[in-house]
Amino acid sequence: MIVQSGVEKTTIDEVAREAGVSKGGVLHHFPSKEAIVIGLVGRLIEKFEADVSALQALDPEVRGSFTRAYLKESTKKNDHSIEVFFALRGGIPQLSGAARPTA
């Protein structure tokens, strides 16, 4: 929803409806829309780091394993994490200047 509408146009009511919870339930855990965005970005980063670590653990060659795992995870096809990150970055002033990677 945030990817389609953008952070600015998405409301907490829409987030609650999409999640199937009350607005009060959302606000109990996330006191603002910015807190929701920060939480989502945090989850994306955690997932990315866990996926890189898993790939690195599978690599039989230790030297360079982090770089190979990082690049493989960063260029994964059909993973919409990058689009989600850039849709969310507008909701966090510290991230709004982040450069979009070139293909």
| pLDDT score at 100 | 47
Element counts in the chain: helices (H) and strands (E): 6, 0
| pLDDT score at 23 | 94
Q: How many angstroms separate the CA atoms of 28 and 69, rounded?
A: 37
Closest CA to 6 of 32, 33, 39, 24: 33
Which tokens go with 79? 């993973």
Query: What pTM does this model have?
Result: 0.68
Region 18-45 average pLDDT: 89
The count of other CB atoms within 10 Å of the CB of residue 49 is: 12
Q: How many angstroms separate the CA atoms of 78 and 16, rounded?
A: 27
